[in-house]
Every structure is written in C-alpha cells, then in structure tokens.
Structure 1
Amino acid sequence: MKTPLLSRVLFVVSLGAWALIVFLMLNVARFNIPNIVDDFCFGWVSKEYGILAGAYYYYMGWSGRYFGNVLMHTSPLYFSSDFIYLQFYTYSLIAFGFVTCLYVIKRISPWEWLDYRLWTGAFLFQALALYSVPGLYQWFFWFSGIYYYISFQIVLMLMVVYFMDPPSRMRNGLLLFLLFCLMGSSEVSMLMFSGVFWGYQIWIWRFKRAIKSDLYGLIAVWLLGFLLVMLSPGNQVRAVTNVNLADGVHILLSNMKGLMRQFISSPFIWAFLAWVWWGFPLPASERRMRPLNLIVITILFIGSMIVSFIPLSFALGEVHIPPRILSLFLLFLVVFVAFLLMHIKRYVPAGQSSGMVMLIIVLIGAGIYFSENLQLIRHELSSGRAEAFAIENRARFEQIRTSKSDSVVVAPLKTKSSLFFTEELSSDPKHLWCKCVANYYGKKAVIRN
C-alpha cells in the first residue's frame, strides 16, 4: 500500500481512536457528581462570599494559585445545586484541549485548516492524553482538579504566540494575559515554563545581545505572578511538612523513575513521537536550531523538571505524587521530546516510509488495547457501577438538602467507584468534608453513621 493512502488510513484510525474514548467519556460524565473532596468546599465558599472573594479567602488560607482559585470557585455548585451541570465542564475541557491542540499544530506546521494531516496530529495527541495520562479521572471528572489541564494548555498557547506570532499590540496583550494566568494556575506549570523560557532567554543574552522590548513587560508580569504565588499566606499555611535530605532525595528519584516508566510504557506516546519523526514538517521559515542550543534547552528542561519535583518531595513529602500532577509532567515530557525530534530531523531527514505508518497504526491499536483508562471507563459503564454510584450519591445529597433537621445522619455508601475521585464522609462532624457539605446545604452538621 502506498504511503499517501496509508496516511489517510492513519487519519481514520486516529480519528476513530479519539472518538472512541471521547464517546465513552461523554457517556460516563452523565453520572458525575460533586466530590466531597474540595468540590463542596469551593461551592460553599463561592456561594457564601462570591467567586472573587472566595478565591481571595483560599489565597490567604490555603493556596497561592490565584488563577486556579478563581477557576475552582466557578464551580457548577455555585450556579446551581443541580448536579447535571457538572457534566458540562467535562465536555468543555475535552473541547478546549482539542481546539488548543489543533491551533498549536496549525501555527507550527505548513498545513492548511482542511489538510487531513493537521487533523491527524490533533486526534493523535488528544488520544495520547486521554488514553495514557494516569490522572484522567482527576482532570476530567473532578472539578477541583480543573486547573492542571488548563495550565498545560496555557503553556502551549503562550509559547506558540510568543515564538510564532508577529509583534503587535494584540500579541503583547495576549502574552501578558496568558502569562499572568499561567503563573497563578499551577506551580508545576509555572516552574517548568519559568526554567525553560527564562533560562533560554539568559542563554541568548550571554553574548550581550539586545533584550527584546516585549520581554520587559513579560518580566514584570512574571515577577509579579511569581511573588504572588510564592509569598502567599496560603502557601505558608499548607507547607507544614519537613522531610530530611535523604528521604527527600529518595522520594524525588522514586517519582522521577515512575514518570519515566509511565512514558516508556505508553504505546500512544510512541505512536505520536513516531508520527512527529515521520510526518510532521516544520515550516520552511522556521530557522534550524543549532545543536548546542538544543543541548542547552534539554539541560534546562531536565533541570526545571527536577526543580518542580523538589517542593513535592521535600516540602509536601509526596512519596507518590498524585496522578493529576504526574499527568502534567508526562505531557510536558511528550511535548519536549516531540520538539527535539522536530529539530533533530533537520539534520537527519526522516524520509517517507509506509513501514513507519504501519508501525504507528499498530502502536495506536496497542495503545487502545492496553489502556487502563479505557478499560476502567468501559467497566464502569458496562457493569452499571457508575450509574449506581451516581444514583446513591444523589439520593444521599437530596436527603441532606431536604432534611428538616439541622444535623443530618447519612448511611455509608454501598456502591464504590474506581473511576470517580472520591472519599467517604466521616463520622466526625468536625471533619473538613462534613463541614463543607453541611455549610453548602445550610446545616449545622452532616455525619455518616
């Protein structure tokens, strides 16, 4: 079979793989409910004080992620206690990620909007994320984890706008807005961007080249955002764990090892990188980057990743970092390796090969077959557990809402879900989750018997 025909087959396969998991995600999203872990806390605070005042309240007492705090206080629970609206944020995240991916590939490639190769790349990368990231449920089915995936999209847009768009007032304003949002969305994204972007700018300035005028505004906004996050009272309250040096190093290396294992074991990641090597051309206008610069960027990326792991390992003592954060590192690593491949093949042309396309198709098939995310969603749907879990939780929250008593006692959940990020209510009414649920529904106490 000729390579052009196989390329179209690859487009169909990529579309099918993406559509399959999106279809299942949209179906299971119908059974999503608010989580007692944070969701009711943000819903209550925003309902009590308003979105911006609630975000400030959390900034002072829990987290320096000022933009992330705003996002989380726009909870569907703020607008309505009807849980049906919760599924719309899942739809919005899937659409936002796809549109951003499509835009980024369009900006850095020579393809037009209707070129099937452009859409192949978008479908393939989005399938990679949905099938491979271990934090799928914490990104798309837990509203309080929304800012992780959004911060990744902001980094992509920021880098593309800065390096690809011609200078203009609109571009400069967009860059300042994106950077301010990024700095307050996720510490991991903030540190990864800061280390690579500003490290590379310093590398360029080493020969005393003139600083570009648009960078002065970016430096000011970056510094403002950095100080707002790092000096926030909320971060001082939260960072209470002290880990000794030996334990911290062990935790850091263990997490790095886990990240690399996740990267190497994903067939979808290899399918996407093979596609980048074989079929993704950089625009002819894009200058060839010198090998020394590629080496410097690699050092900056690895160094930034280690620095981003340090707070998790030494300040918070995260022996196993949460899947939502591991997923963020994983996608940054995939994008970075793809960036390297795009520039390396300027020196080592990949050529055209029908065998490479067949390999990519086989890897996509393996990615679908071995995907834990797909298997989990399918099992939750086919077994009826997702629906039963939703029905039981909705009945329990409705019991709390309609109870005439100020103190409500609820039965333990009989149905357990392996998909939705959840914990059980406590028998202690002073437990944070119980207090948040009680405050949201205007009760004095909510406990589990």
Structure 2
Amino acid sequence: MTHPLLARLLSLSAYGFFAIAFVPLLALSYFNHPSAADDYCFADTAVRYGFWQAQKYYYDGWTGRYFSNFLVHGSPLVWGWYAGYKFIPGLMATAFVWATYLFIVESLRGLVPASSIRRVSFILTGTLFGVYILQLPSIVEAFVWMASITVYTVPTALMLYWGVVLLRWYQQPPGTLRMLTGRWAGVLVFLIVGCGETHMLLLISLLLSIIVYRLAFQRLADWRMIGLLGIAFVSAWLVFRAPGNAIRMNGGAAGGDLMNGLLLSGKWLVRNVPGWFVKTPLIPLSILWGIAGNTYLYRGGRLAAIFQVPFWYAALVVAGLILATVLPSFYATQVLTLRAINVTYAVFLFGWFYLITSQIRLFSSVARVPPSILPTLTGLWLFMSLANSQPLKQLYGDLLRGKAATYDREMTARHQYLVDSKPADTLRVAPLTVYPASLFLEDVRTDPTHWWNRCQSGYYHHKTIIVDTTLRAPAPHL
C-alpha cells in the first residue's frame, strides 16, 4: 500500500466518523425540550425575581459557579421561548467541533504546510469528535441538558478556544493586538473557572504545568502565565467564598478526604482508561496519523514549539490533567457522575493526540514500509467500535424507532396544556410513554412536593403539577 492511500484511508475514516456522530446530534436537536431537572428551577427563579437577583440568590444560597449560573438564568425559558431548546444540542455540538478545529489549526502551525493545514485539521477534528462520541458516557448530559452543558461542556469548549488565544498571543508582535489578546485570555480564564470546580482544577493544573516547564527547562519566568494563574486563583476564590457553595457542599455525601479522594480517583482511572483504547479504534487511527503526519506533514523539519516538551514531562502532565477531572468529584462526594466523565474522556483524547503528535518522528521507520494489515485492522476495529457503541445506539435508536418524535409530540402537548390551562389547585399530566436516552433525563413526579414539580408549577403559574398514571399521553386532562 502506498502512502497516499494511507492518507486517504485516514481522510475517509475522519469524514465518515464526523458524519456518523454529528448528523444524528443535529437531527435530535429538533426534538429537544427543557428538562424537569433544574431547567425549570433556574427559569422560575429568574422570571420570579429577575435575572440579576437570581444570580445573587444562587450565589448566596446554592453554588458559587457564577458563569454557569449566568448562562442557565438566561435560558430560552426565561424569555418565554420554549422552542429555543430545539437549537441547544445542535449549537453546542457545533461549538464543540468548531473549538476543536480552531485548536488543532493553531497547534499545527509550523508542523503542517500552510496549503494543507485546514484539510488536515478537519480530518483530525472529525476523527477526534467521532472517537469522542463513540464512548461518550452521557449524550444527554454533554449536549442536551442545559444545566449540565453550562457546567461541563461549555467550559471544555472554552478551554479549547482559550488554547487558541494563548497560541496566538505568543506569536503576535508587541502592540495593541497582543495586549487585547492577553486581556481576552484573562477574561476566558475568569469565565472557565466560573463554570465549576472540575474545570477550575483542570485549568489551574495546566497553568502550573506550563509555568514549571518554562522555569525548569527554559530558565524563564513566564509572567504571562503567572498573571493568568493569578486571575484563576482570584476567580477560584470567588467560587469558594460563595455562601451557597458551602451550603451545596454540606448537602452532598460525606467527603473532604483528600487521600481517599486520590485513592478512589486512581482506582477508577486504572479500571476505565485502558478500556477506551479497546472500545475505540484509537490505536490504529493513531498509527495512521503518525505515518501520514510523518511522511506528508512533518517532512523532516522541526516540530512546532508546543510539541517540543520532553515526552516524560508531557505524559506526566496529561496524566495529571486527567486526574484533575475526577478528583473534585471523589474528594467532595465520593461519587463520579457521567457528566464529569464526559470531561475526563475529552481530556484523555486531546492529551493522547498531543502525545502522539509530539512523537510523530518515531513513525518514520514505519512510514517507509507501511504494514499491509493496517487498513484491514483499522476497518475491522472501526466496524466493531461502531457496532458496540452505546451512545450511537442511543442516538440512532431514538431517531429510527420514533422515540424522539413521540417524546417531542408528548412534551409539546404537555407544554401547550400547561400554558392554556387556567390557574388551578392541581393540574394532572399524563406520564410519558417513551424515555429516549439521548434526550430524556428527569420528569415531574407523582409527589406534588418534589422539587421538579414545584419548579415547573411555579414557572407555569399553577399551584401544583403532578403526574397521574391513570391518564394517557399525549392528551392530558384536569
């Protein structure tokens, strides 16, 4: 097999991956609705007390996540735009892909010829996004449920974009543009930390690793990074000093044991990370990238500065960043949620991409005589990964079996019923007949005092809303 055919195989895998993973997310976006879990609570608070007062209410009474609070209290429900939720999964998936693409473009400057950098970056973006969706722990918590998106997916995309801004900042000549770029990098740090503790620790760990590298290996005090670290610490202080943060932490499971948190984190990573190499075609695709990158992209020149970090240090940093995504959960509550694992998996994939690219010259010997079995192995591994991917089964199953359409019809009928009904002591709604895993998270309960019921009845200006199991969807009754 010739080298161009290997490159073509990588291209086809990327385009196919991207289409298989991205298209159903766009299609499912049409069927999305706000979740009973938190979405109505944030909206009811903002509508009842006002947008800015709602920020203060949550900062003082529940959590210090000031930027994610800012986003959820400005949801489409707050503005009375119920159909706005149909755009959220598609927009979030697009933002995530676009941030990934920009990050790869910027990180490959100097490694890939200018004439092909966009094509190569799209190939790598499609590959990474496809592998990400293959084993994504929770589709609904990554792209559908707004309360989770703002705490986990939004800051993940922002961190990728922040990486783009940093790389441009270091390449710009002195002047107004570089000054503004540096200010924007500081603003992004403030926003990312304000989304939640997971990305707070992740960002601070990354900044510290860069500062230590510059000091230990380049004998240079990087005042830009030190300044950003200072902003990160001040932002973290704003999160932790929030009265609501203490209330929220005290309401969770017993935690606060750092050593036990580290032990639980290490055990979880040892049990789960190796499986990601087996359940996805990451290994053969990495070999394809190494060969194609070495023979056509690297061309024997010097790697870009970002990839010249000693391998042992880079591997240690990647491992530390992965640990940083699971430690906050195990430290605080001793429970790791699927939405937190979404971030862990993303950091793992981008860290792996970085390590492979930094060692791309090691594939030079393989590139001279490409193994003939590689295309077959890649195809078989890819087929098995697709066939056994639970997230893809959920996505396509909900679409093709009509679950998403039924869910959309029943939720639309319920919403219209709640809007049209006059205020009453008790409104009874029929239970849903389907629960599409890629769209559904929580529903109101039969208990009128449950938090979800109270939030939704408050938003629609009714005293009580309950699920009545004797009713049939999609036509609720009084």
Q: What TM-score results when the alignment is normalised by the length of structure 1?
A: 0.89
Would you say the 8 A contact 1:242–1:316 is kept in 2?
Answer: yes
How much does 1:433 deviate? Answer: 0.5
| Match among 296, 315, 324 for residue 298 of structure 1 | 315
Would you say the 8 A contact 1:132–1:268 is kept in 2?
Answer: no
| Match among 287, 292, 301 for residue 279 of structure 1 | 292
Bigger mean CA deviation after superposition, 198-207 or 376-385: 198-207
How much does 1:304 deviate? Answer: 4.5
Bigger mean CA deviation after superposition, 357-366 or 62-71: 357-366
2:91 alignment counterpart = 92
CA gap of 1:323–1:424, structure 2 versus 1, over 3 A, is same
| Match among 335, 342, 354 for residue 357 of structure 2 | 342
Q: What aligned pairs does 1:112-261 form with structure 2 within 5 A after superposition? A: 112=114, 115-147=118-150, 148-163=152-167, 165=169, 166-167=171-172, 168-206=178-216, 209-240=219-250, 241-243=253-255, 251-261=264-274
Would you say the 8 A contact 1:72–1:143 is kept in 2?
Answer: yes
Bigger mean CA deviation after superposition, 157-166 or 125-134: 157-166
Would you say the 8 A contact 2:137–2:341 is kept in 1?
Answer: yes
2:460 alignment counterpart = 441
Would you say the 8 A contact 1:29–1:87 is kept in 2?
Answer: yes
Give distance in 2, aligned partners of 1:394 and 1:191.
40
How much does 1:444 deviate? Answer: 1.9
Letter in 2 for 1:443: H
Bigger mean CA deviation after superposition, 194-203 or 302-311: 302-311
| Match among 377, 395, 401 for residue 395 of structure 2 | 377
How much does 1:184 deviate? Answer: 1.1
Q: Do structure 1's residue 421 and structure 2's residue 413 form an aligned pair?
A: no
How much does 1:196 deviate? Answer: 2.9
Letter in 2 for 1:65: R
| Match among 310, 319, 323 for residue 327 of structure 2 | 310
Would you say the 8 A contact 2:444–2:467 is kept in 1?
Answer: yes
- Cα displacement string for residues 51-83 of structure 1 (whole angstroms, at most 9, x for unaligned residues): 44323322222222211111222212122343x
CA gap of 1:441–1:276, structure 2 versus 1, over 3 A, is same
Would you say the 8 A contact 2:198–2:328 is kept in 1?
Answer: no
CA gap of 1:301–1:207, structure 2 versus 1, over 3 A, is closer
- Cα displacement string for residues 211-248 of structure 1 (whole angstroms, at most 9, x for unaligned residues): 23423531331121111122222221111221496975
Bigger mean CA deviation after superposition, 29-38 or 340-349: 340-349
Bigger mean CA deviation after superposition, 239-248 or 105-114: 239-248
CA gap of 1:205–1:384, structure 2 versus 1, over 3 A, is same
How much does 1:4 deviate? Answer: 1.0
1:328 alignment counterpart = 343
Would you say the 8 A contact 2:6–2:292 is kept in 1?
Answer: no
1:40 alignment counterpart = 40
Give distance in 1, aligned partners of 2:455 and 2:166.
42
Bigger mean CA deviation after superposition, 94-103 or 417-426: 417-426
- The number of residue pairs the alignment matches comes to 445
Would you say the 8 A contact 2:7–2:288 is kept in 1?
Answer: no
Bigger mean CA deviation after superposition, 293-302 or 383-392: 293-302
Give distance in 2, aligned partners of 1:8 and 1:345.
18
**For the aligned residues, what is the CA RMSD?**
2.8
Give distance in 2, aligned partners of 1:273 and 1:88.
34
CA gap of 1:397–1:262, structure 2 versus 1, over 3 A, is farther
1:269 alignment counterpart = 282
Bigger mean CA deviation after superposition, 233-242 or 401-410: 401-410
Give distance in 2, aligned partners of 1:170 and 1:287.
23
How much does 1:249 deviate? Answer: 6.4
Would you say the 8 A contact 2:140–2:439 is kept in 1?
Answer: yes
Q: Do structure 1's residue 24 and structure 2's residue 24 form an aligned pair?
A: yes
Q: Secondary structure at the match of 1:265?
A: helix
Give distance in 2, aligned partners of 1:119 and 1:182.
25
Give distance in 2, aligned partners of 1:113 and 1:60.
53
Q: Secondary structure at the match of 2:87?
A: helix
Letter in 2 for 1:343: S
How much does 1:251 deviate? Answer: 4.2
Q: What aligned pairs does 1:71-90 form with structure 2 within 5 A after superposition? A: 71-82=71-82, 84-90=83-89
Give distance in 1, aligned partners of 2:226 and 2:273.
36
Structure 1 unpaired stretches of 5+ = none
- Cα displacement string for residues 369-427 of structure 1 (whole angstroms, at most 9, x for unaligned residues): 22211111221122212211222222223222222233312233333333223223223
Structure 2 unpaired stretches of 5+ = 173-177, 469-478
Give distance in 1, aligned partners of 2:306 and 2:33.
50
Letter in 1 for 2:233: L
CA gap of 1:213–1:64, structure 2 versus 1, over 3 A, is same
- Cα displacement string for residues 258-294 of structure 1 (whole angstroms, at most 9, x for unaligned residues): 5315423332433553344333456836248677x43
Bigger mean CA deviation after superposition, 381-390 or 271-280: 271-280
CA gap of 1:158–1:405, structure 2 versus 1, over 3 A, is closer
How much does 1:332 deviate? Answer: 0.3
Letter in 1 for 2:53: A
Q: Secondary structure at the match of 2:304?
A: coil
Letter in 2 for 1:219: L
How much does 1:93 deviate? Answer: 1.3
Percent identity (aligned): 21
Give distance in 2, aligned partners of 1:142 and 1:39.
8
Give distance in 2, aligned partners of 1:373 and 1:89.
18
